[in-house]
Amino acid sequence: MSFLNTTQLVLLERYLDGTSMRQTLVATNVANVDTPGYQTRDTDFRGQLQRALSGDDNDVLVPFVMPVRGLISRPDGNNVSVDRESLLLAEIQLQYKAAISILRAKFALLSTAIKEGQP
């Protein structure tokens, strides 16, 4: 069944995994906007996807979650930026929905090809 595991389809699924995981990080940052000492977290899953696509043989992927640089800390030690997280919430949601749309289109095409246009 290799037609179901093309590079495109696997890539789309990994992209969905990455964006939903990144959104959970953003939501956790938002939930902790008033927690003293909390440090913003993020992930670079797209960089890792790119490296995987270009054929780097990294068997062990380093952990996704990483602290964010360049953020200003408030006196209580919290460095969550309301603007940054709000922007990411909207952006990541759109990325996820776009990937879902593309995935649906690919599945629909496969379905049509299999059934040869007959219901």
Partner 1 sequence: MNLFRVMEISGSALLAERMRAEVVSANLANAETTRVDGGGPFQRMHVVFGARPVAHPSFGMSLASFGDLHAENVRVVGLVGDETPPIQRFEPGHPDADTQGYVSYPAINPAEEMINLMGAARGYEMNASAITSIKNMIQSAITILG
Partner 2 sequence: MTNSIPGVPPGSIDLGSSAATIKPAAPGNSADNPDFMSTLQGAMGQIGDMQSEADGKVTQLLTGNGQDVHSAMIAIEKANLAFEMMLQVRNKIIAAYQAVSGIAF
The residue ranges that bind partner 1 (CB under 8 A) are 16, 20-21, 23-28, 30-36, 38, 41, 63-65, 82, 85-86, 89-90, 92-93, 96-97, 100, 103-104, 107
Residue 59's φ and ψ, nearest 5 degrees, are -70, -40
| Count of residues touching partner 2 (by CB under 8 A) | 35
The entry of partner 2, partner 1, none near residue 25 (CB within 5 to 8 angstroms by kind) is: partner 1
Q: Which of 23, 45, 29, 46 minimizes the C-alpha distance to 83?
A: 29
| Minimum CB distance to partner 2 smaller for 5 or for 86 | 5
Maximum CA pair distance of the chain? 66
Rg (CA), the chain: 19
**What separation in angstroms does the CA of 28 have from each of 25, 31, 37, 69?**
5, 5, 14, 17
87 binds, among partner 2, partner 1, none (CB under 5 to 8 A by kind): none
Query: Which secondary structure element, helix H or strand E, spans residue 46, and what is its range?
Result: helix 45-53
Residues 52-71 that bind partner 2 (CB under 8 A): 52-53, 55-65
Task: Summarize as ranges the residues that interact with partner 2 (CB under 8 A).
Answer: 1-7, 10-11, 13-14, 16-17, 20, 52-53, 55-65, 100, 103, 107, 110-111, 114-116
